[in-house]
Amino acid sequence: MTTRTHHRRKLGFTAVEVVVAVVLGGLVLGNVLMVLSDTRERFASENVAKDVDAEARRSLDRIALQIMGAVRQQLYTQVSAPLSADSINYTTVVGVQNGQPVISELQRIAMTGEQAGAVSWYQNPGQENEKHVIWSRDLRSFCEGELPNGIDDNGNGLIDEKGLSFEVDGPMVRITLTIERPGKDGKPVTKTLETRVTCRN
Ligand SMILES: [Ca+2]
Ligand SMILES: [Ca+2]
């Protein structure tokens, strides 16, 4: 065997090695990219779930705080189970003057909007000096698992309750809220929260 043939054989072997290495490298890289893309998709859908969760909590806390500060005798929405209302009118105590509580202007928290519902807060609703702030834009039209059919589909004791519902029982108000956003895969991501608060004033 001459030195040249040996050299050529050596080169040929190296070329096979290179091809194998390239193929293997490609496979490894492909797997790494696949794992990365899976992870990214998982993070993205986890993020939507987290955002929906956070929005539901923030909205419910905001509503609950308002109702807790409401004046019991001036809770103008009195709907009891199995019925519920998608809005509530109330006043709050905003201070004390000469030993007497100072009552706020009329306020309202309501589900508004056509397709995608919104949680709206109003001061002086329907008046010239009305103030309107949207607290959330991702309200589901009906509570999770509920259909407009005259029965309590989701078994929570309320019939056909909306994405935002208030049920008043004396000084206690039960607030239910369902936030929904489309997920990365197109399927809706939904969060339903419920709380019961008592008007303090
Ligand atoms: Ca129900
Ligand atoms: Ca129903």
Cβ(111)–Cβ(86) below 8 Å: yes
Query: pTM of the full predicted structure?
Result: 0.78
Confidence band for 7, pLDDT divided at 50, 70 and 90: low
Q: Which ligand is nearest to the CA of 147?
A: 2
154 CA from centroid of ligand 2 (Å): 8
Q: What is the pLDDT of residues 16-26, one digit of tens each?
A: 788 888 888 88
Return the pLDDT at 114. 67
How many residues can be counted in the chain?
201
Q: Which ligand is nearest to the CA of 157?
A: 1
Q: What is the pLDDT of residues 65-109, one digit of tens each?
A: 999 999 888 887 788 999 999 999 999 988 899 998 899 999 999
Return the pLDDT at 164. 97
188 CA from centroid of ligand 1 (Å): 19
40 CA from centroid of ligand 2 (Å): 38
Q: Which ligand is nearest to the CA of 192?
A: 1
Q: What is the pLDDT of residues 46-75, one digit of tens each?
A: 889 999 999 999 999 999 999 999 988 888
Residue with more model confidence, 61 or 34: 61
Q: What is the DSSP letter of 91?
A: -
SS (H, E, C) 103-147: ECCCEEEEEECCCCEEEEEEECCCCCCCEEEEEEEEECCECCCCC
Residue in the block written with tokens 């797997």: 31
Measured over all CA atoms, what is the biggest interatomic distance in the chain, rounded to whole angstroms? 115
184 CA from centroid of ligand 2 (Å): 28
Q: For 170, left (φ over 0), alpha (ψ -120 to 50), or beta?
A: left
